[in-house]
Amino acid sequence: MDPAMIGRARWIGVADAMALTQAAYLRILNAAARAIARRGRFTIVLAGGKTPRSVYQLLRAADAEWSRWHVYFGDERCLPANDLERNSRMAGDAWLDHVPIPKDHIHAIAAELGPNSAAFAYANALREVGDFDLVLLGIGEDGHTASLFPGHDWGNLPDADDTLAIFDAPKPPRQRVSLSAARLSRTREALLLIAGESKRSAVERWRAGEELPPGAIRPAGGLDVLVESALLLPATQT
C-alpha cells in the first residue's frame, strides 16, 4: 500500500440517492462475503440517519449468512431503549428485526443508562472485538459524523478511549454515546454515505480542507465516500 494513501478519503460519485443506496447495499454484502470467507464472521458498525436507513431496508431481502454477522453501532442517543429516535430502533425497524441475525450478535449501546455508564459498558463490550470489518458512516448538515461534532472532542488521538460520553451535543438530545474517531478508524473498510442537497455545505467545507469529524476517521486502508455526484459540482451547475 502506498503510504501516502493511508487514511485518505476516496470520493466516489454516483448518479442519485437510489444509485447510492444500491451501491452501498452491494458494498456491504461484498464486505460480508470477504470477511466470512477469510475469518468466519463479519463485524459491521451501523450509522444512523435517513441515508443509511434506505440501505437497511434493502438489506431486509438480501440472501446472506446472517448467523455470521455481528452488528455494532457507531453512536446512540441517550433516550429510552425503544424510543423512535434511537439508532438501534431505526435499524431494527428497517432491517434487523426482519432477518435471522442471532439476538446476541446485535450489540446495541445501552444509552438509556446515561452517557457515562453506557460509554463504559460499550467500551467493555468492544474490548475483545479487534478491528471491525466495515464501518458505515453518515454526515450531518453541520459536518458531524456518528455523534462527533465540529468544535467538540472527537477522540482522534492514538490513545483515545474507544467510546465517548457526550453531555453537550449541539443538537438534541444533548446526551449521547459515540465511538471515538480512533475506534472507528480501527476497521478494514469504512464507507461514508452522503445524499441530499442539505449536505452540500458540509461536503464543500470538507473538500476545501476544513477539519471536520469525518476527516478524523482514518483507517489504514482509507475511507470511501459514496456521494451523489451533484454534490461534487458547484451549486450553479446542479
By CB atoms closer than 10 A (0-12, 13-18, 19+), residue 192 is buried
Q: How far is CA 189 from CA 21, 135, 136, in A?
A: 17, 6, 9
Q: How far apart are CA 107 and CA 185, in angstroms?
A: 19
Cell numbers describing residue 125 = 463490550
Check residue 219 and give its pLDDT.
96
Check residue 3 and give its pLDDT.
35
pLDDT in tens, the chain (238 residues): 333 344 489 999 999 999 999 999 999 999 999 999 999 999 999 999 889 999 999 999 999 999 999 999 999 999 999 999 999 999 999 999 999 999 999 999 999 999 999 999 999 999 999 999 999 999 999 999 999 999 999 999 988 999 999 999 999 999 999 999 999 999 999 999 999 999 999 999 999 999 999 999 999 999 999 999 999 988 754 4
Check residue 8 and give its pLDDT.
83
Q: How far apart are CA 69 and CA 88, in angstroms?
A: 16
Q: Order of strands across the sheet with 163-166? A: 75-77, 176-179, 163-166
Check residue 234 and give its pLDDT.
82
218: left (phi over 0), alpha (psi -120 to 50) or beta: beta
Q: How far apart are CA 33 and CA 29, in angstroms?
A: 6
Which residues 6+ apart lie within 8 Å of 143 measured at CB?
A: 150, 202, 205, 206, 210, 212, 213, 214
Q: How far apart are CA 220 and CA 122, in angstroms?
A: 24
pLDDT digits 0-9 by tens, 150-162: 999 999 998 899 9
Query: 7-232: what CATH class?
Result: alpha beta
Check residue 236 and give its pLDDT.
57
Answer yes or no: are the C-beta atoms of 110 and 118 closer than 8 Å: yes
**Angle, helices 17-39/50-59, rounded to nearest 10 degrees:** 60
